[in-house]
Structures are given as C-alpha cells and as structure tokens.
Amino acid sequence: MSAVRIYHNPRCSKSRQALALLQARGEEIEVIDYIEDQLSNAEISDLLKQLGMRARDLMRSGEDSYKELKLGNPDLSEAQLVQAMADYPRLIERPIVVYNGRALVARPPERIEELFA
C-alpha cells in the first residue's frame, strides 16, 4: 500500500481536520507543509493534472494576494496562474490529498473517503 500524501497548511482548520481523519484511518501519511516548503511550478502542474483541474479552480480567490496581483484577470495564462501559486503558496486551496495516483481537494475533509472507495 502506498502512503497518502497531504498538502497541508497547519494553520488551516480544514487541513488539520483532514490530517486527523487520515491518522484515525491508520494510514501511512506523508505530510507536505507547502507553505514552508513551497511547491515548484512542475509540482503544481502535476497536482492539477491529478486533480483534473485548471489553475484558476485551485486558487483561493479570497486571499489578499489574489486581489493585489489581479489574478481574476481572464487574460492570464495557465502558466502565469501556476507561477503565482508557486510564488504565493497561500493561494493554493487546501488540503489536497493524494492516494494511489488520485487526488482531491478535501473540502469538506470527509471527502477523503472518496479516495478509498
């Protein structure tokens, strides 16, 4: 069995809840604090592929940096949005959980069960 990977922000209550659910399942967990250890463009692009999402769909539009950087501009390319998430990791929706090549944004945290169904 492969480990479950969680892209985790310890300051986020939903992320903490998701981690607790994984721990309660007794899963082997790889925790990635993506705020401290920022993700590269390639890592973000790989996650987007696994999630089946476009960059804009993974962005937290309520963040101050989203507004300050004018990331709502529809003319911005996918590459520009990925770069913004690499530069400003708080823009990335959380938590992201990956298991056996599948990924999802665990909001609400109970969505994690979808990966094990």
What is the greatest pairwise CA distance in the chain?
45
CA distances from 102 to 2, 48, 51, 90 (A): 12, 11, 7, 22
User: Catalytic site residue 38?
Assistant: no
3-state secondary structure of 30: strand
Paired strand residues for 4: 29
The one catalytic residue among 12, 32, 35, 51? 12
Q: How many beta carbons lie within 10 A of that of residue 6, not counting itself?
A: 25
**Catalytic residue ranges:** 12
